Amino acid sequence: MKRVLLVVAVGILALGGTVGTRAWVEISRSISEDPLVWEPAIRAFEEQDRQVPPPASPVVFVGSSSIRLWDTLAEDMAPLVTLRRGFGGAKVGDVTHFADRIVSRYRPRAVVIFVGANDMGSALGNVPKTPERLLELTRELVARLRAADAALPIYWLAIKPTTTDASRWKRGRVLNGLVAAWAETEPGVHFVDANAELFGKEGAADGSKLMIDGIHLNDAGYAVWAPPIRERLLADLGGEAR
């Protein structure tokens, strides 16, 4: 935990000024259990939609910063038509709260979800949830999405390994197993593990694929994370809109 806090503190100090302040605001939001702290981000999506109408029947990628920072998503998933709706340090409950506004309103062809890591992080002020509780919250998110579209294909991306937060990754491995087992029994819910190339020779996370915080993917990380996700979606959905 101390190492995680040190990395975060050094990063914020290095940013300095307005950028550093914004980073600290986002961190404070990421440890909050109140979804409403993300209302400005959701309104920004809605304003973006007013200015540039979203595509019809996209594959919506939703979740936390690993989706938000995925700048090459459209190119990486082509010819699938995608829409990126990742925001800050979102938790599972945050995505559930805003599901109608960031997923269902687009009448998506499918939804790809990466969320849960922030629920388990050991950042100062965060209260980590157990993998069992996160499975319950994941089921609630799926139920919310299914209330709008009972046939919606849902793809849940495995929690990624880290080099700086051992407790997060320990819980993440357990959660991956729980969601994978549950998805086997839940029609239309698919567990996708795209982590194979994020590990080094010793079985630990490969730091060369991660940013300085040891948690988020860098360009090299996205380059190896994307292909198995794309291959699975193309195999299941094909390249044409429904």
3-state SS, 111-140, equals EEEECCHHHHCCCCCCCCCCHHHHHHHHHH
What single-letter amino acid sits at 171? R
Of the two residues 201 and 2, the one the predictor is more confident about is 201
Q: Are 85 and 61 in contact (CB under 8 A)?
A: yes
For the CA atoms of 134, 140, 146, 152, what is the dihedral angle to 10 degrees?
A: 0
Q: How much is the pLDDT for 172? A: 97
- Kindly report the pTM of this predicted structure: 0.89
Q: How much is the pLDDT for 134? A: 98
Residue 161 and residue 36: Cα distance in Å, rounded? 29
Question: Per residue in 41-62, pLDDT tens?
Answer: 999 999 999 999 999 999 999 9
Residue 38, SS3 per DSSP: helix
Q: How much is the pLDDT for 23? A: 55
Question: Per residue in 97-128, pLDDT tens?
Answer: 999 999 999 999 999 999 999 999 877 778 89
Is it the case that residue 211 has pLDDT exceeding 80?
yes
Nearest CA among 88, 112, 120 for reference residue 23: 88
Residue 46 and residue 44: Cα distance in Å, rounded? 5
Complete domains list, the chain, with CATH: 2-237 (3.40.50.1110)
